[in-house]
Chains A and B, each alone.
Chain A
């Protein structure tokens, strides 16, 4: 039996709850495909944890919406919000289904992974070489989004995944990074991580 977190009403804004649900659901899809593609069980477990978090958020949001509606007009205005929240919850469930393929040892055919990796140009997994210009840099310093249109979504370090790392997180040699974004940006990023390209350009 899984453990379910006890739910209590909390006065959090709908906006805050929905924002976290939207961000998490999209992050989870990318993480889940990464877990399937790179056949990574720990990463898949992280996705399942995030799914529980989204479920909790969905309960909290439902309650906040209920409390906010005082009359029929409010209900009409808010029904779209609950529909969208429930869609983000479904997206996170879908991501958890992908993760379950990995945790239940079903996996995808190795040849599939190989072809998949070539087709999937918006996600990469790359190890940071000790000669890389990124070593010791904080994520915020790299300005990855404006420079290359990419984003680091997970770091594997000391046998542990850090999901959605903080902006002040420092990159270390031997880190394994999962990044998502534009194909050209990811290509450049891979070269930087592997130490084949030395400088960050604007």
Chain B
């Protein structure tokens, strides 16, 4: 395959990967907003939904203008459909977050379901003696150490989205998703001396 075409493919697939990752992150954030009854997180999901819409259009245009051959049409149709699906998932996440924005107090059953699910969400404050302190998220290696992904950080009442070079501070509340087995590890890492108090 000519190098130029290969690059074009790379671009298309990268755009799709972003679409897919964002839509799945949105589900986690939407459940987090329910669990914490947090409007800010719910609004972030709505913002991401608009971003996904934009991304999806760009992706479709990129695919349609890639100059594929007739015999490749099926393979490209598959790609277009994958994009539609990612968009649908993002819509579903936005619907979950909307519950919070409508001012409906999330039912206890929702909270219990999120906490008991195979992929769960936790929030844990960072204590003064945490080894995570003053490390950037990249340096903290939380996914490698605990299997949990940081979805958002609550700092001074505001929710911020994690960037690799964001430094972890005392009092930050980490909102993270992952398997139930990793939650204790993350809680211990965030607040080593009082594992039972959280």
**B79 an interface residue at 8 Å Cβ cutoff?**
yes
B88, B119, B147, B185: the one contacting A185 at CB < 8 Å is B147
Which of A36, A81, A184 has most chain B Cβ within 10 Å?
A: A81
Give the CA-CA distance A81 to B149 in the complex, in Å.
26
Q: Which residues of B contact A101 (CB under 8 A)?
A: 78, 81-82
- Tell me the complex Cα distance, A148–B107, Å: 33
Counting chain A residues whose Cβ lies within 8 A of the other chain, the interface size class is: 35 or more
Q: Does A169 contact B (CB under 8 A)?
A: no
Which residues of B lie under 8 Å from residue A15 when comparing CB positions?
Answer: 109, 112-113, 116
B104 CB, nearest partner CB in chain A, Å:
4
Report the Cα distance A139→B41, complex, angstroms. Answer: 35
Please give, as numbers and ranges, the residues of chain B lying within 8 Å of A33 by CB-CB distance: 20
Q: Is the CB–CB distance between B34 and A84 below 8 Å? A: yes
| Cβ contacts B161-198/A at 8 Å (1 or 0 each) | 00000000000000000111110010000000000000
Contact B119 A112 (CB under 8 A): no
Nearest chain A CB to B58's CB is how many angstroms away?
17
A83 at the interface (CB under 8 A from B): yes
- Minimum C-beta distance from B142 to chain A (A): 10
A61 CB to closest chain B CB, in angstroms?
10
**In angstroms, how far is the closest chain B Cβ from the Cβ of A45?**
17
- In the bound complex, CA of A146 to CA of B188 (Å): 13
Q: CB-CB < 8 A to B72: which residues of A?
A: 109
Residue ID in chain A nearest B76 by CB atoms: A109
A18: chain B residues within 8 A (beta carbon): 109-110, 113
**Cβ contacts under 8 Å, A94 to chain B:** 85, 88-89, 92
Interface contact A36-B78, CB-CB below 8 Å: yes
Which residues of B (84-126) have their CB < 8 Å from a CB of A?
Answer: 84-85, 88-89, 91-93, 95-96, 98-99, 104-107, 109-110, 112-114, 116-119
Contact between A19 and B117 (Cβ–Cβ < 8 Å)? yes
> Do the beta carbons of B99 and A149 come within 8 Å of each other?
no
Residues of A within 8 A of B16 (CB): 116
- Cβ of A77 under 8 Å from chain B: yes
CB pair A146–B109 under 8 Å, yes or no, is: no
Please determine whether A97 and B88 come into contact, CB atoms closer than 8 angstroms.
yes
Q: Is B6 at the interface (CB under 8 A from chain A)?
A: yes
Nearest-neighbour CB distance to chain B for A182, whole angstroms, equals 5
CA distance A116 to B19 in the complex (A): 12
Interface check B64, CB cutoff 8 A: no
- Min Cβ gap B8→A in Å is 10
Bound-state Cα–Cα, A33 to B112, Å: 28
> A133 to chain B: closest CB distance in Å?
20
Instruction: Let me know if A146 and B185 touch, CB within 8 A.
Output: yes
A80–B107 CB distance below 8 A: yes
Q: How far is the CA of A86 from the CA of B98 in the complex (A)?
A: 13
Residues of B with C-beta under 8 A to A79: 104
Contact of A120 among B17, B30, B117 (CB under 8 A): B17
B117→A22 contact, CB < 8 A:
yes
- Complex Cα spacing A23 to B119, Å: 7
A112-B75 in contact (CB<8A): yes
Within 52-103 of A, Cβ neighbours of B (below 8 Å) are at 76-81, 83-84, 86-88, 90-91, 93-95, 97-98, 101
By a CB distance below 8 angstroms, the chain A residues around B96 are 83-84, 87
Q: Judge whether A136 is part of the interface by a CB distance below 8 angstroms.
A: no
How far, in whole Å, are A22 and B112 apart by their CA atoms in the complex?
Answer: 12
Q: A94-B92, A115-B13, A116-B17 are in contact. Are A78 and B107 (CB under 8 A)?
A: yes
CA distance A84 to B96 in the complex (A): 5
Residues of B contacting A181 in the complex (Cβ-Cβ under 8 angstroms): 147, 179
* A184-B179 in contact (CB<8A): no
In contact, A90 and B92 (Cβ under 8 angstroms) = yes
